Amino acid sequence: MGFLSRSRLSLLSFVSVVGLLLHGAGALAAERVVLKYGILRHSISVDDLTEFAERGDRAALEGYGISEGDSQQVRTALTQQVKIDPCWLDRGLNNPLGEALLDEIGQTIQAPADEASRQALRSALVLSASDDGKISLLEVIQKYPTREVYVDGKRLASAYNQIAKFEGQIRKVLGVLDWF
């Protein structure tokens, strides 16, 4: 077994064990989403956001003034998946390119002001990919390691596009690095 394979196995084992420990210990995970849409802010439960994203139940977003077309764009952005290897994702997010991506996505999905948003977002992204090798923004929100997470509804599609673009870039960068 080569060094890369052992490293990959070790990282996956570590992520799995940490995930199991956190899950078993009542891990801190987002319970509420403060959805920002323009100047409006509305706090909803992660369960209600999940219901909206997966089934189209707009009841949680009533009184928000979000058009049917906008709500469909938000649903699509929340549920679209990007396939990415969790080991590559972890390696990719722990370098200057990855930190720039975290800062960009952090403008859309962020922790309350007094908490470490970059680290929380990195954790949520890796945990999202660790179980099935796929990331969706809804999963990232669900796995966000703070009780409350702020989401800019108008930027969701942009955040999804940044993750999808990053996946292609990180494959190229890490593919080149593996040659050395």
Q: Where are the domains of the chain?
A: 3-177
Average pLDDT over residues 36-48: 85
pTM: 0.75
Positive or negative torsion for Cα 122, 124, 130, 135: negative
Whether the CB-CB separation of 82 and 167 falls below 8 Å is answered with yes
Q: What is the pLDDT of residues 49-66, one digit of tens each?
A: 898 889 887 776 666 666
Distances (CA, A) of 164 to 55, 60, 121, 159: 23, 28, 16, 9
Whether the CB-CB separation of 120 and 145 falls below 8 Å is answered with yes
Q: What is the pLDDT of residue 175?
A: 57
